[in-house]
Amino acid sequence: MSKTTSKDKLPPMSYLECAEGSPHPLELIAFFRRFERGVFRDLIYTLIFNTAIGGAFTVFFMLFEPEARLARVLWVNFVIANCIGYLIHGGFVLTGTWYGTWLRRQTGAVRVLHYSAIPIVGVFAGYWLAFTLLDLPEAKQNVFSAQSAITILLLSLLISAILVSIFLARERQARAEAAFQGERARVEAAEHQFHLAQLKLLEAQIEPHFLYNTLANVISLVDADPSAAKRMVERLIDYLRHAAQASGSADATVGRQVELLQAYLDLMALRTDARLSYRVDVAPDIAALPLPPMLLQPLVENAIKHGLEPKIAGGEVRIGARREDSTLILSVADNGLGFRTTRADSNSGLGLANLRGRLESLYGARARLTIEDTQPGTRVTLALPIGSTP
């Protein structure tokens, strides 16, 4: 027994799949490619195409027979063109539905034969049907006579050549579009993995340094101030819980990122002996908006490290989030030493460069990052498009 492969078990093509394999001739015109394929659409397209062919034959006939009645010639050609056109249309739909799976696996020569045979049969059958409907018995009898058959055969070969060129060109275009879409999906998947790797690298750079310093603070407070050490451990646990929820969630939102920042700032306030205070001003209606992780935290860490820690009196960090039409506005401000004083710091510059790179890869030119020297302090603002899927 021969072995049946999964390829041989492919189901017959549906109407739409058949339409994809045998595109409508009108789709050569860009306007007609704007509408989604379907049974009703293709029937309308065939009517338009048939009417145009009938009109062309009417003009050609009237050039040689100007005394003929235009209305009668137009009606006869309209009936003939639609009988032929719809029979060819039906032939492609039926063969595509019954044998489409097999046809997709054949060589170009077999498909050319398929695209040629159906128009030939459709032209002969269409003439016979049209003359029956028009009650022209003599013309109906002459359809299969030698002289008429040669004329009709030449006409059908002309139609076949036109359809073959159209269908094969559209097949090549469809394959090229499918290959392009597949490559674009592969690139998008690679970019997504690259963004995840960037995020994990950034988190890996931040977390150890932060944890080491926090645990060092806890150790220093165990003997001197046990209650403060306990509060710091509690805040650390709270921060780690929020961090785990943020990293394990598929949906990063403004609310989740702000909760993580509040836990982080609670810890930093304990570590700096109340030299640090903070305020969070986030509109309730934007808490559920999506926000990629690790966009705000580097800005907050930068404000503390380069703006407030060098300042003996400490200071305040203010985090704001609001919506302006279709734009999400995020801001991190401090009243520390200011941007001009700290802008030469290489670590600060590197952090901002990394952030700009992430914004570019996530949003392209649709995101903006601005830095203002507020004297005292610095304000960094992010403007991100709402509704974009990074």
Instruction: Give the 3-state secondary structure of the chain.
Output: CCCCCHHHHCCCCCHHHHHHHCCCHHHHCHHHHHCCCCHHHHHHHHHHHHHHHHHHHHHHHHHHCCCCCHHHHHHHHHHHHHHHHHHHHHHHHHHHHHHHHHHHCCCHHHHHHHHHHHHHHHHHHHHHHHHHHCCCHHHHHHCCCHHHHHHHHHHHHHHHHHHHHHHHHHHHHHHHHHHHHHHHHHHHHHHHHHHHHHHHHHHHHHHHHHHHHHHHHHHHHHHHCHHHHHHHHHHHHHHHHHHHHHHHCCCCEHHHHHHHHHHHHHHHHHHCCCCEEEEEEECHHHCCCECCCCCCHHHHHHHHHHHHCCCCCCEEEEEEEEEECCEEEEEEEECCCCHHHHCCCHHHHHHHHHHHHHHHHHHHHHCEEEEEECCCCEEEEEEEECCCCC
| Closest C-alpha to 311, from 340, 336, 335, 290 | 336
Distance in Å from the first CA to the final CA of the chain: 53
Position 197 confidence tier, pLDDT thresholds 50, 70, 90: low
- pTM score, whole prediction: 0.47
Instruction: Report the pLDDT value the prediction gives residue 190, as an integer from 0 to 100.
Output: 74
> Taking 90 as the threshold, does the pLDDT of residue 75 lie above it?
yes
Residue-level pLDDT at 137: 83
pLDDT over threshold 50, residue 17: no
Output the six-digit token pair for 234. 């509690």
Q: Taking a C-beta distance cutoff of 8 angstroms, is the pair 297, 352 a contact?
A: no
pLDDT band at 74 (very low <50, low <70, confident <90, very high): very high
Structure tokens at 58: 């009417």
Please check the confidence at residue 343 and state whether its pLDDT lies above 50.
Answer: no
* Whole-number Å distance between alpha carbons of 172 and 344: 57
In the chain the domains, ranked by start, together with CATH numbers, are: 6-185 (no CATH), 252-385 (3.30.565.10)
- Phi then psi dihedrals of residue 215, to 5 deg: -65, -35
Cα separation, 89 vs 277, whole angstroms:
75
Bridge partners (DSSP) of residue 321 are 282, 330
Instruction: Find which of 92-101, 297-306, 320-329, 345-354 is predicted with most confidence, using mean pLDDT.
Output: 320-329
Q: Would you place residue 203 in the very low, low, confident or very high pLDDT band (cuts 50, 70, 90)? A: low
Cβ atoms 241, 265 nearer than 8 A = no
What is the C-alpha separation between 199 and 355, in angstroms, rounded? 11
Digit-coded pLDDT (tens) for 280-315 = 888 888 888 888 877 888 888 888 887 787 777 778
Of the listed ranges 92-96, 127-131, 203-207, the least confidently predicted one is: 203-207
Q: How far apart are CA 328 and CA 363, in angstroms?
A: 13
pLDDT at 82: 92
